[in-house]
Structure formats: C-alpha cells, structure tokens
Structure 1
Amino acid sequence: MIIDAHCDVLYQLWKNPDWRFQDSPELRINYEKWAGNTVKVQCFAIFVPDTVPSDLQFHTALEMVNIFYEQIIAPYENIKLVTSKEDILALKDNEKGAMLTLEGLHPIGHDMIKLKTFLHLGVKAVGLTWNNGNAVADGVGEERGAGLSTFGKQVVEVLNTYNVMTDVSHLSYQGFWDVMDLAKYPIASHSNSRKICSHVRNLDDKQLKALIKKKAFIGVTYVPEFLTGTKEATSKDVIQHIEKIYKLGGEDSVGLGSDFDGTSGFVEGIEDHAQYDSFLQELKARFSKELVEKIAWKNFLHNLEAKTY
C-alpha cells in the first residue's frame, strides 16, 4: 500500500482538454497505470498557474475541482473520494482513494469564503503559496521573503478549525516558521533535504527537525532538480533524501510526494505511476518492513487522525 501526497494531474487535464485520465500516455498518472499498482491513495492538487489573470483564478480552480469529480471520481466505481483516515481504512481491496488538495492560495485573493468553498468541496490539505507571493504569504521565489500576513494567520486558524492540513511546501522561510507556530496540522507534501541538495524549494535541517518534532508528514518528491540539483536523478537519489530525513529522527514523518505531472524532469527508476511497485521493492531492500510501511502510507495516515469536519 502506498499513499502519494502530491501530483498535478488536474492541471494537466485542464491545460490539455484532449487528454483522458483513462489512458493518455502523456500523463504520468492515468487510470490504467494506477489500476495496475499498489498505490492505494493518490492526492490530486488544484494548481492554477500564475499566467491566469487574477480575476479568473478562482473560476479556473473550480474548473479543476470539476475535472476531479467528473473525470477521476465519477467514471470509476473503484475510485472513491477520501477525506479522512476512516475513509482510507474503509477502502476495499479493489478500491483506490482520491484526495483533493490545493497548491497555492492565490485563487482566493483576500476572500475567506472562497477558501471555505474549497474546504466544503473536499480539499483536505492546503499549500499556502506557490513560489510567488499572495495575500497569505510569500513563496520561496519572492525576494521579499515575508511571512504570514494578518489574513494569512486567519487562514491558518480556519484550516485548524476545519481540521485541514497546512502545507509548507513552496512557502517562504519566514512563512514556514509562522506556520509552525500556528498550525495544528502542518505538513510538507513535496519537499526534500536542502543539506543534500541546496535548492530553494528544499527544507534545511532546522525546518525538517521542526516538522519531525510534531510528527508532521514530509513527502520526498521526485524532481531531479530537488534531488541532485541537476536534470538527472535516479530512484537511489530519492532514497538518499528519505534516509536523510529518517536519520534526523523522521521515522514517523518521512513519506512520498511524487509531484508526478507537475514537472518535466524524470527520475530514472520511478518515471511514473507504473514504476511504483519496483520502487517499493527498492525501499524494502534498504529499510525494515516496519519503516517501509511508515514511509509508504502510515506516516501520511497518521496526519489524518481525527481530522474530519
């Protein structure tokens, strides 16, 4: 069993309306690839590119929600919407779980009702920013590097109230620490170790240890630039980042957050969903059975305990 905390299939289906979730080979996650492996739960992110005009961003995000329900949930009897630990544990052997997440709060502007609309539509993890800044906080690509705004702090309180995970991936350094002070359920859905690879999107040891102290989920991601700092990487590089987080004390935090369909780079040995079973065997060859289960699914599931609204 595997839970993957992040992918950008919804963005790709929105961007390429002729593609089909069923079998489009361009998708690194499609139904046929997913049906044939041991990934039990896949998180699907709503990501609105910053090229969309601000007055159309909320509508674009809703289009992606519609894609999620109409193209991923509705056509397949064995794909179930999951919003809680209980939903995941209730999945039958032949069933898969799909969870809706949000990457970046730029589509809501300063409107809390728009945020609550996403939560009522089933979003269970919210990344506060993408790389740029918004009304909530700055992302890692914003030179100003500001933390949470007053509105941003209110956003985190709403996420706490709704028992929704606050995702620090893409968030500015100061924003990270503001979230750690306020969030009940912080996670990093797709971030790696900056000690191994000094990319701005990665987390330094101090940040990783802060997440680990709270047993917060940390999803290692399969982006070559975040793994090696180059355009080339292998599954062994993914395992190196997993091991680094584990050695910092992250046995109960480290997990998987592929970012499939979110980047153009490929990691040799885990190019797409179809390679997940062989990657799981690599993990089993390197770590104990108990630790592999934590990496593969238990650590993510732990962050969903009692998180229903």
Structure 2
Amino acid sequence: MGRAEQLRVADFHCDVLSKLQASPHLNFDKDSRLDVTAERLAAGGVGLQVFAIYLSTVRGRPSFESVLGQIELFQGKVLGSGGLQWLRWKEEAVELVRVPPRWGLLSLEGVDGLEGNLFYAQLCFDLGVRFLGVTWNYANWAADGVLEQRNGGFTEKGRELIEWCNSSGMLLDVSHLAPAGFWELAERSKRPFIASHSNVAAVCRHPRNLSDEQIKALIAMDGRMGLTFVPWFVKNGGDAKADDLLRHIDHVCSLGGTRQLMFGSDFDGIDAWVEGLEHPGKYAEFAELLLRYYPEDQVKGWLYENAWSFLSLHLPPKLNDQKIP
C-alpha cells in the first residue's frame, strides 16, 4: 500500500442529498449516476464527508419541509445503508483519528429554507446540522449572495442569525456570500468561520473565488478554506486538470495559509469535472500528485488534519443533559 492510499481525507462539501431528494430511486451505496457513493468514499479514503442540504433543485419555494426531508435522507440512506457515523459534537471529533469508522457531517447551503425563522434554525441544530452557509448565489432573508449585483451585507434578521449561531455553537460558512457580507461577518462574528468550497480569485477570475484580502482574513481568524473542484473555479475557461489546483494551493500557502487549507469538492453539485478528480474515489491519485510536490506533513494537513483540528476546537460540546437522538 502506497503512502497516498494510507492518507485519510476530509471533504467539506458535496450535494448528493439534493440528488437523492430529487430522484428517490438513486442508490447511495454504489450508483454510478452519483459522484458521491459509499463505495467511492471508501475507495478514496474519505474518513469525513460533509453533506450539504441544498434546496435549489427542489421545485417551488425552498421550505423547511424540504430541509427536513434531506436530513431524513441523510439518516436513512447515508448513515443507514451507507454505513457512516454522524459527527455532531466536539467529543466525537476525537474519534476522527481512528480508522475506521467513516463519518458524515451535515451543513445547510443557504438559509432560504429556514424561512426567516430562528426556531427552525434551532431545530436544525437539534437535529444535527452543524454548519450554515448563509446564502447560495443570490439574496435571501439573511444576506446577499455573491451574484447579487447590489453586493449588500446582512439584513437585521441576518444579524440576529449571526448572534444566534455564535451563542448556539452553529458554525458559519461564507462560500456564496457577497463580499460585503463576508466583511460584515468578519466584524460581527465572535467565532471563526469557513469557506467550505471556494478557490483563489488571483489564480482564476470567478466571483465565487476569494480575494487575497478575504483569504488573509480567514487565515488571521484561523478559519478554514476548502479548495473546490468546480472546473471553472479552478482555471479560466474551465478546462481544468488536477495539476491546476496546485496554483491555488501555492497561492494560499504564499499568503500564510498552510494550516487553514482543506478541500471541499462540490461533487454532485457540478455537471463537469476536473480531469483526474471526477469523484471521491480519485482522492488517492490526487494525494499521490500532492506528495510529488509537497512534504507529507503538509499534504496530511490539507487532506484531513486541518479540517479535523478546526472541528475538534469549534464543534459544540455535548452537555451532560443533552441526549443524542
């Protein structure tokens, strides 16, 4: 077994729950119509996968009912038949260093489905969601997304959401958030946040990628930045290969972000793929590529340990009177 095959991987973003909700006949175990399957996670050495609750593919207005539907799918198809364990608490993060098991963690991509109701946010937390991406690409009740031309910050209700997240232990994700919202959150939040699936704007000009100033702010707060495998975020023109990600890695490291870098593939949220990174089973080959250019301790950090260290510090603790459902 080569060095790369022994390295564990944490992937901080995929959209397979949305596909499973839209097409209930799909089989999470090993359906080739999905990017992310239990079989491919095992083949790629993925020890932690973050599953986004993404409602853009749901017909009609995003609703809390659809959020609950994807949580139910996660419990039934991912944890049940897929054989993953559910990561929710700081105490459980200690177990991430063990091999096996494999773990799944829930995030919400865009708070539209919470319908402006912080009680729904609390229910999500109680049901095991641990990250909130404030927006998708456009405006919602909390803030503006990155493609909203006015580039607004947070609404009054959105500011209440920030306060609630800081007090409850829900962690925040700025991928898709407009720049004005990013900087407002950096000022208002008492806790570090992440960009789960964003790349470097200085390397590839796309509005979803982060400026050097944003990356430096994430580094300064010891947040995390998950490089993503969306081809048009990796290379101008979108004809990208796995090697093209090295320029993004080098740039983040040049800004001082070696310990803040991780990966968030966006598998099942894309309809074109980086050559050599078509699904999570390719992570072992990607690790081999990284090991040709970088020291093993850095590669381990980017693939897994940087994500693990953030979770072990910032996931909420399980209080004695809390019962894990």
Could you tell me how far apart the structure 2 residues matched to 1:261 and 1:239 are?
22
Shift of the alpha carbon at 1:75?
2.4
Could you tell me how far apart the structure 2 residues matched to 1:26 and 1:51 are?
18
Shift of the alpha carbon at 1:220?
0.2
- Where do 5+ consecutive residues of structure 1 fail to align? none
Which residue of structure 2 aligns with residue 103 of structure 1?
A: 109
Q: Please give the per-residue CA displacement for 1:193-243, whole angstroms capped at 9, x wherever unaligned.
A: 000111000000011100011111000000011011323101111222112
1:308 to 283, 295, 316: 316
1:18 to 16, 20, 25: 25
Q: Which amino acid aligns with 1:145?
A: N
Shift of the alpha carbon at 1:121?
1.0
3-state SS of 2:50 partner:
strand
3-state SS of 2:13 partner:
coil
2:77 to 64, 68, 71: 71
**Does structure 1 residue 128 correspond to structure 2 residue 134?**
yes
Could you tell me how far apart the structure 1 residues matched to 2:33 and 2:58 are?
22
Q: Which amino acid aligns with 2:288?
A: Q
- Give the structure-2-normalised TM-score: 0.91
- Give the structure-1-normalised TM-score: 0.95
Could you tell me how far apart the structure 2 residues matched to 1:133 and 1:245 are?
28
Q: Please give the per-residue CA displacement for 1:64-123, whole angstroms capped at 9, x wherever unaligned.
A: 1110001011224x4100124532431542310000011000111221111111111111
Could you tell me how far apart the structure 2 residues matched to 1:120 and 1:238 are?
37
Percent of aligned positions that are identical: 32
3-state SS of 1:251 partner:
coil
Could you tell me how far apart the structure 2 residues matched to 1:157 and 1:14 are?
31
**Where in structure 2 are the equivalents of 1:137-176 lying within 5 Å?**
137-176=143-182
Q: How many residues get paired?
A: 307
Structure 1 pair 50–67 and aligned structure 2 pair: CA distance change class (3 A)? closer
- Asked if 2 retains the 8 angstrom alpha-carbon contact of 1:41 and 1:88, the reply is no
- Asked if 2 retains the 8 angstrom alpha-carbon contact of 1:185 and 1:303, the reply is no
2:100 to 91, 94, 99: 94
Q: Which amino acid aligns with 1:148?
A: F
Could you tell me how far apart the structure 2 residues matched to 1:149 and 1:194 are?
26
Shift of the alpha carbon at 1:145?
1.2
Q: Please give the per-residue CA displacement for 1:125-173, whole angstroms capped at 9, x wherever unaligned.
A: 1100000101100001111211011111111111111222210000001
Instruction: Answer with 150-159 or 202-211: which moved more.
Output: 150-159
**Does structure 1 residue 208 correspond to structure 2 residue 215?**
yes
Could you tell me how far apart the structure 2 residues matched to 1:109 and 1:58 are?
7
Could you tell me how far apart the structure 1 residues matched to 2:249 and 2:78 are?
30
**Does structure 1 residue 288 correspond to structure 2 residue 280?**
no
- Asked if 2 retains the 8 angstrom alpha-carbon contact of 1:85 and 1:301, the reply is no
3-state SS of 2:301 partner:
helix
Could you tell me how far apart the structure 1 residues matched to 2:277 and 2:166 are?
34
Could you tell me how far apart the structure 2 residues matched to 1:230 and 1:13 are?
30
Instruction: Answer with 122-131 or 285-294: which moved more.
Output: 285-294
- Where do 5+ consecutive residues of structure 2 fail to align? 1-7, 318-325
Query: Relative CO higher for 1 or 2, CA cutoff 8 Å, sep ≥ 6?
Result: 2
Q: Which amino acid aligns with 1:280?
A: A
**Does structure 1 residue 177 correspond to structure 2 residue 183?**
yes
Could you tell me how far apart the structure 1 residues matched to 2:116 and 2:70 are?
20
